[in-house]
């Protein structure tokens, strides 16, 4: 085993820091025990499922089936390369036999010609093996990441809303990265090494069957050693990689939060944190180094046992006259060649074990039922109505307790109330993101939960604080709302939200690259892009979840004008953190403790002298 193992580990991808105190290690073992703290233990609640072994297995089978041809081709070229590589030992064995028998004519010309021919074949096919291996690995890897994204974009909006995107994000970045090495190298290398080893053993048995016995000598050393190692290795390497990532993550956070760190004088603490992370990471490095300190002698010993066994046993066999000197020579050289595939297998095997965990996380997304609305259900009319709706995120804890609200077409309803009262939840139910636990939410008489998401969004859109500007051209950012729209329509939409001014000023107009890495758009512009999308998507009902609250006042005022253009002629349910938004609504619903406690126009509520009136007075005090 060479240092390559360590290097492959260094190449491990960087991932976000995760941590959680672990239970105390089990029985004490000799050497360096695993550190008590495991940085790879998941910190966040895994909200999305992790694939079961069955799902993983069936996916791997499917993947292999898809790439059957490449796989078979790899095995084939590999077989040719390995067989060609055995020509040298065979030919030398013949030469030695001849020399031992005192022959004068060894057909040296023919030997050299054959050797050269075999070398040419070996060279060409080795190049092919390497290339085919990469082709296979890369194709599988590309499939994996594309499959994952395909599944991700089919997730029901309710699942996304609840799970957030963090879990998915870490899967598409960290887990894909981790699988990269496994797919790119471990799978092809293992395939190559196994074929290689089998062929060498076969050749050894073919050359001199008694010599194959020498291989058995290694089993008592190799098998227990590897079992010991592989039982401990995957977890330790996982922890080590996560620990290393945590070092980088701590630093990245210090850099990212430079202002806060400086303002709160946290510099010394950040340094201490980084050093703690380094100590945690290196503790696992010590652990894995110890594991290898056991494994290396085992491997070296088995290698030498094979070679020594072949040489000494073979020597005895020659003395006994069971095999020839040539067979001994060939056998010894073949035994020497065995070292490499064995090392390859040992080196990549634990990589594959680590990869399995990531694969399970990626495949887990397949276990979520895609959202199966009935496309036959279509609304008749535009009225949104919630009837005695009860809903909670956790069993037994309702956030909404029997809310009934009617939103006639064309009206503006404002939901106001303190944080945590259930305003946003009610908004999401009205937009069909969640289905109620009891009661029903209907659009034009049809239940929202019975419709597929693609149908619901033609009628109702939820606009929240998330004004994601996608990496890509401004055109792509708008086209997503109406893929078939022509440029003129896009410009019209931008014009409708007062964004055509700055958009025209961009160097490439609609082709301008925005999002991270491209032209930086201000939060206000991001919001205008989001509004322009709404103009293009053209739903008749909008649920605004405090769309402008994160913006600074001046930008917000400007945006409210853009917003007004968008809202014109649509039914609007606005969740208002700020009272001036509420003031203009036709109906204000005050939500408190999951119930609607007041309902009416601004003037009516102010004169009623209830909680809304009190708040309004302090706002304008």
Partner 1 sequence: MQIRDLPYADPGVPDVRSGFRLLVWLGRNQLGGQLKALAWGVLHLASIALFPVVAGLAVEAAVDRSGERLAVAGAVMTVVTLTVALGDTMLHRVAVTNWITAAARVQQLLARRAAALGSTLTRRVAAGEVVAVSTGDIERIGWCVEAVSRFSAALLTTLAVCAALVVYEPQIGLLACAGMLALALTVLPLLPRATRRADFQRERAGRATELAADTVAGLRVLRGIGGEELFLSRYRRVSQEVRRAAVRTARMWALIEAVQVAIPGLLLVGVVWYGTGLALDGRITAGELVMAYGAMTFLLFPLRLFGEFAMSYSFSRPSAARAARVLSLHRSSESAEAGAGASPGPGATGVAGVDRVAGVDRVAGVDRVAGGASPVPPPSGSVCVPDAGDAGDAADTAGLYDPVSGLHAAAGQLTAVVCGDPDEAGRLAERLGGHPVDEPGEDEAGQDEPVEGGTRRQDTVVGETVVGEVEAQGEAGPPREAGIGTGTGSAPGHAGHRSAVLDGVPLDAMPLEAARTAVLVQDKDPMLLSGTLAELLDVPSSGAVGVHQALEAAHCSDVLTALVQGSPDAEGDPMRARLTERGRSLSGGQRQRLALARSLITDPDVLVLDEPTSAVDSHTEARIARSLRQLRQGRTTVVFSSSPLLLDRADRVVFVHDGTASAEGTHRELVRTDAAYRAVVTREPEPEPEPEPEPAGPPGGALTRTAKTEGAKSA
Span 364-393, contacts to partner 1 by CB under 8 A: none
Residues 255-284 that bind partner 1 (CB under 8 A): 255-268, 270-271, 274-275, 278-279, 282-283
Restricting to residues 21-40, name those near partner 1 by CB under 8 A. Answer: 21
Whether residue 526 contacts residue 503, with contact meaning beta carbons closer than 8 Å, is answered with no
With a CB cutoff of 8 Å and minimum separation 6, the contacts of 465 are 545, 546, 547, 549, 550
* Minimum CB distance to partner 1 smaller for 500 or for 592: 592
Among 60, 73, 76, 119, interactor with partner 1 by CB under 8 A: 119
Q: Which of residues 190-219 bind partner 1 (CB under 8 A)?
A: none
| Closer residue to partner 1, CB minimum distance, 213 or 266 | 266
Phi-psi region of 538 (alpha: psi -120 to 50; beta: other; left: phi over 0): left
List the one residue from 177, 498, 500, 586 that touches partner 1 (CB under 8 A): 177
DSSP assigned state of 185: I
CB of 388 to partner 1, least distance (A): 25
Residue 439 or 498: which CB sits closer to partner 1?
Answer: 498
Burial class (CB in 10 A: 0-12, 13-18, 19+), 554: exposed
Residue 304 or 388 with smaller CB distance to partner 1: 304
Distance CA 178, CA 370 (A): 26
> Is there binding between residue 296 and partner 1 (CB under 8 A)?
yes
- In the list 385, 482, 565, 570, the residue contacting partner 1 (rule: CB under 8 A) is 482
Contact 521, 527 (CB under 8 A): no
Q: Nearest approach, Cβ of 135 to partner 1 (angstroms)? A: 6
Q: Does 14 bind partner 1 (CB under 8 A)?
A: yes
Stretch that binds partner 1, among 199-207, 440-448, 503-511, 532-540 (CB under 8 A): 532-540
Decide if residue 489 touches partner 1 (CB under 8 A).
Answer: no
**Cβ of residue 589: shortest distance to partner 1, in angstroms?**
14
Q: Based on CB atoms, which residue is closest to partner 1, 380 or 484?
A: 484
Q: Is 616 a binder of partner 1 (CB under 8 A)?
A: yes
Find all residues with CB under 8 Å of 442, minimum gap 6, and list them: 379, 384, 385, 387, 448
Contact between 316 and partner 1 per CB under 8 A:
yes
Helices 219-256 and 325-364 pack at an angle, to 10 degrees, of 40
Residue 184 interacts with partner 1 (CB under 8 A): yes or no: yes
**Strand pairing class (460-463; 541-545):** parallel
Choose between 417 and 436: whose C-beta lies nearer to partner 1.
417
Tell me the closest approach of the beta carbon of residue 531 to partner 1, in angstroms. Answer: 11
Alpha-carbon distance of 385 to 441, in angstroms, equals 6
SS3 473: strand
Check if the beta carbon of residue 478 is closer than 8 Å to that of residue 529. Answer: yes
CB closer to partner 1 out of 233 and 431 = 431
Residue 420's region, left for phi above 0, alpha for psi from -120 to 50, else beta, is left
CA quadruple 266, 272, 278, 282: dihedral, nearest 10: -160
Q: How far is the CB of 524 from partner 1 (least distance, A)?
A: 10
Instruction: Determine which residue in the list 64, 76, 83, 301 makes contact with partner 1, applying CB under 8 A.
Output: 301
Pairwise CA distance, residues 557 & 555, whole Å: 5
Burial of 65 (0-12, 13-18, 19+ CB in 10 A): exposed
> Strand 513-514 and strand 472-473: pairing?
antiparallel
Which tokens sit at 525? 């512009």
Contact flag: residue 43 with partner 1 (CB under 8 A): yes
Per rule CB under 8 A, count of chain residues that contact partner 1: 179
Smallest distance, Å, CB 404 to partner 1? Answer: 23
- Give the nearer residue to partner 1 in terms of CB position, either 45 or 376: 45
609: left (phi over 0), alpha (psi -120 to 50) or beta: left
CA distance 288 to 242: 13
Please say which residue, 65 or 104, places its beta carbon nearer to partner 1.
104
Q: What are 598's strand-pairing partners?
A: 590
Q: Does 8 bind partner 1 (CB under 8 A)?
A: no
601 binds partner 1 (CB under 8 A): no
Q: Which is nearer to partner 1, 388 or 601 (CB)?
A: 601
Question: Residue 256 contacts by C-beta under 8 Å, 6 or more apart in sequence?
Answer: none
Please give the structure tokens belonging to residue 128: 């092919």
Stretch of 67-75, 95-103, 199-207, 435-443 contacting partner 1, by CB under 8 A:
95-103
Residue 61 interacts with partner 1 (CB under 8 A)? no
Q: Which x/- pattern, by CB under 8 A, does the window 456-475 give for partner 1?
A: -x---xx-xxx-x-xxx---
CA distance 556 to 528: 11
> Least distance from C-beta 234 to partner 1, angstroms?
19
State the nearest-atom distance from the C-beta of 398 to partner 1, in Å. Answer: 14
517: three-class secondary structure by DSSP: coil
- CB of residue 552 vs partner 1: minimum separation in angstroms? 4
Residues 127-166 that bind partner 1 (CB under 8 A): 127-131, 133-135, 138-139, 141-142, 145-146, 149-150, 152-157, 160-161, 164-166
Which one of 25, 220, 370, 420 is in contact with partner 1 (CB under 8 A)? 420
Q: Interface mask (CB under 8 A) for partner 1, residues 534-563, using x and -?
A: x--x--------x--xx-xxxx-x------
Task: Establish if 300 lies at the interface with partner 1 (CB under 8 A).
Answer: yes
DSSP character at residue 507: T
Contact 539, 448 (CB under 8 A): no
What letter does residue 449 receive in the DSSP assignment?
G
Look at residues 483, 349, 460 and name the one whose alpha carbon lies nearest to residue 407.
460
| Alpha-carbon radius of gyration of the chain | 34
Query: Least distance in Å: CB of 190 to partner 1?
Result: 17
Q: Closer to partner 1 at the Cβ: 301 or 492?
A: 301
Q: What angle do CA 223, 226, 231 make, to 5 degrees?
A: 125
Nearer CB in complex with partner 1: 392/409: 392
Counting runs of H as helices and runs of E as strands, what totals does the chain give? 24, 12
| Contacts to partner 1 from residues 438-457, by CB under 8 A | 453-454, 457
Q: How far is the CB of 31 from partner 1 (least distance, A)?
A: 12
Considering only residues 390-419, where is the footprint of partner 1 by CB under 8 A? Answer: 394, 416-419
């Amino acid at each position: 085993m060479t240092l390559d193992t360590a290097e492959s580990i260094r190449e491990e991808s960087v991932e976000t820091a995760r941590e959680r105190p672990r239970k105390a290690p089990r029985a004490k073992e000799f050497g360096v025990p695993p550190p008590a703290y495991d940085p790879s233990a998941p910190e966040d609640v895994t909200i999305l499922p992790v694939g079961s072994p069955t799902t993983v297995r069936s996916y791997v089978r499917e993947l292999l089936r898809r790439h059957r041809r490449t796989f078979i081709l790899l095995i084939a070229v590999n077989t040719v390369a390995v067989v060609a590589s055995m020509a040298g030992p065979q030919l030398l064995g013949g030469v030695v036999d001849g020399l031992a028998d005192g022959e004068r004519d060894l057909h040296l010309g023919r030997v050299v010609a054959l050797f050269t021919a075999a070398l040419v074949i070996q060279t060409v096919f080795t190049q092919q093996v390497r290339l085919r291996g990469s082709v296979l690995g890369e194709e599988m890897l590309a499939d994996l990441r594309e499959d994952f994204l395909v599944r991700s974009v089919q997730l029901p909006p309710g699942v996304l809303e609840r799970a957030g995107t963090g879990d998915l994000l870490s899967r598409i970045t960290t887990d894909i990265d981790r699988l990269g090495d496994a797919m790119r190298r471990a799978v092809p290398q293992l395939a190559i090494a196994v074929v290689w080893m089998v062929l060498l053993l076969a050749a050894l048995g073919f050359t001199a069957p008694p010599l194959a016995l020498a291989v058995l000598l290694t089993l008592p050393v190799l098998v227990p050693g590897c079992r010991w190692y592989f039982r401990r290795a995957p977890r330790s390497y996982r922890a080590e990689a996560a620990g290393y990532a945590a070092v980088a993550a701590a630093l990245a956070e210090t850099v990212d939060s430079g202002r806060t760190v400086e303002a709160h004088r946290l510099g010394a603490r950040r340094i201490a944190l980084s050093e703690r992370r380094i100590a945690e990471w290196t503790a696992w490095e010590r652990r894995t180094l110890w594991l290898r300190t056991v494994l290396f002698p085992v491997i070296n010993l088995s290698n030498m046992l094979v070679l020594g066994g072949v040489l000494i046993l073979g020597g005895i066999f020659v003395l006994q006259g069971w095999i020839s000197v040539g067979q001994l020579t060939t056998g010894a050289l073949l035994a020497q060649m065995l070292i490499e595939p064995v090392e390859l297998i040992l080196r990549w095997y634990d990589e594959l074990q680590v990869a399995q965990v990531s694969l399970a996380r990626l495949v887990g997304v397949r276990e979520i039922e895609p959202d199966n609305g009935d496309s036959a259900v279509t609304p008749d009319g535009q009225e949104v109505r919630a009837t005695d709706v009860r809903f909670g995120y956790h069993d037994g804890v309702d956030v909404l307790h029997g809310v009934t609200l009617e939103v006639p077409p064309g009206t503006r309803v404002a939901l106001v109330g303190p944080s945590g009262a259930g305003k946003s939840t009610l908004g999401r139910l009205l937009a069909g993101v969640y289905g109620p636990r009891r009661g029903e939410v209907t659009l034009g008489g049809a239940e929202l939960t019975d419709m597929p998401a693609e149908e619901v969004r033609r009628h109702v859109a939820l606009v929240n604080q998330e004004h994601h500007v996608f990496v890509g051209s401004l055109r792509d950012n708008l086209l997503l709302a109406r893929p078939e729209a022509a440029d003129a329509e896009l410009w019209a939409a931008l014009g409708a939200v007062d964004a055509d001014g700055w958009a025209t000023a961009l160097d490439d107009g609609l082709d301008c690259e925005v999002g991270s890495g491209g032209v930086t758009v201000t939060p206000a512009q991001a919001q205008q892009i989001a509004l322009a999308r709404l103009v293009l998507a053209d739903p008749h009902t909008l649920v605004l979840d405090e769309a402008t609250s994160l913006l600074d006042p001046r930008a917000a005022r400007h945006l409210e004008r853009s917003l007004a253009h968008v809202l014109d002629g649509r039914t609007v349910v606005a969740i208002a953190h700020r009272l001036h938004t509420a003031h203009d609504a036709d109906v204000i619903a005050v939500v408190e403790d999951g119930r609607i406690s007041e309902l009416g126009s601004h003037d009516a509520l102010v004169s009623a002298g209830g909680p809304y009136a009190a708040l309004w007075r302090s706002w304008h005090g």
